[in-house]
Amino acid sequence: MIMIPNYKRNRQDRYRQDPHAKRTDGAPETAPVSKKTVPSVLIGILVLAGILVLCILASRQRQKTPAPAGEYAFRVRYLDVGNADATLIACDGHYMLIDGGYADSSDKIYTVLQDEGAETIDYLVCTHGHADHCGGLAAAFHAAEVGTVLAPVREDPENYHFTRFAVQTEKAGLAITVPEPGSEYTLGSARFTVLGPLTTDVEDLNDTSLVIKITYGETSFLFCGDATRVEESSLLDAGTDLKADVLKAGHHGAGASTSYRWLYEVDPAYTVISCGKGNEYGHPHESMLSRVRDQGSELYRTDLQGDITAESDGQTIVFTVEKNPDADVFAPGDSFQ
């Protein structure tokens, strides 16, 4: 595991920084040096060195020492399940699984839950009925005791993948709960709110995705399944409080998701894309990456960096990646095909 300490940044300071600022101390570049001027030059150098040392000491005092990875009470694991979604959230010994990847990720889901020692999954969330989200979810029924199952619908007879998940849920002796937007739940000392979907005239199954914001202390994380700009607009137009420190980008970084309006309203310090290397859709799309670059959040990608973990103590967020901490995260998906 490779640890990348990050700090919840003071955004105003971030925007105030000017990387192109030049020195403007007015000193001539090649002043003649006479014997008389040497002592004053030496004194000047010593004074500057002293100021530099004081600055370094002051900046070290300002920095917080992050706790080592694995020591925070709240943890989000964006699992690398190819061009699909699966996120495990842990808080105070309570667990929530949002999506489970394709059916062929069932082994991974099962193993991760076993390794975590998760005996109970408080919430199992199927954001929507596509195979890359609900296909591997049933592994959780075999790995742990599942509490509440959340999905945007109880049944969808036309949809083989969702119907399979609904049958597996029933076999586990559970019923699907369809949460109303605004529904609130607790996960240990964290809490989450179901914000959407709000779109009523849905043409794309992706826009039925459950949109969830989870808050721990002063830190927050937003999940939106495969919502496109249609559902994004519905939430924006409704005046929903979307602000979050970490955004899981919609629809694996597709060009039709993560609109400018959405990005600037969520205003994340970090964005995570769950996508598969060399996927046939070219996720993440160049236009989406360009919007994230313009917005300025730090970007993480499962296709390049494997499992990505974000931990919070309620104030500070620390990211850990499985591999490639210095990957070129702004390279479009189709550049790997």
Interacting residue ranges for Zn ion, rule: CB under 5 A:
132, 226
Is 132 or 307 the residue whose CB approaches Zn ion more closely? 132
Is 274 or 316 the residue whose CB approaches Zn ion more closely? 274
- Cβ of residue 73: shortest distance to Zn ion, in angstroms? 30
Tracing tokens 């917005």 back to the chain, one arrives at 295
Is 226 or 311 the residue whose CB approaches Zn ion more closely? 226
| d(C-alpha 134, C-alpha 97), whole Å | 11
Beta strand residue intervals within the chain, DSSP E? 2-4, 74-78, 86-91, 94-100, 120-125, 145-150, 176-177, 184-187, 190-196, 211-216, 219-223, 246-248, 270-273, 298-301, 308-312, 317-321
- Cβ of residue 121: shortest distance to Zn ion, in angstroms? 21
Is 9 or 164 the residue whose CB approaches Zn ion more closely? 164
Q: Output the six-digit token pair for 226.
A: 């495969």
Continuous segment of H or E residues that includes residue 114: helix 106-116
Residue 219 β-bridge partners = 216
Spatial neighbors of 67 by CB under 8 A, at least 6 apart, are 311, 313, 318
- Cβ of residue 204: shortest distance to Zn ion, in angstroms? 12
- Closest listed residue to residue 242, CA positions, set 195, 281, 286, 205: 195
Is 66 or 152 the residue whose CB approaches Zn ion more closely? 152
Is 225 or 332 the residue whose CB approaches Zn ion more closely? 225
- Cβ of residue 226: shortest distance to Zn ion, in angstroms? 4
- Cβ of residue 130: shortest distance to Zn ion, in angstroms? 5
Q: In what order do the strands lie in the sheet with 184-187?
A: 184-187, 190-196, 211-216, 219-223, 246-248, 270-273, 298-301
- Cβ of residue 250: shortest distance to Zn ion, in angstroms? 9
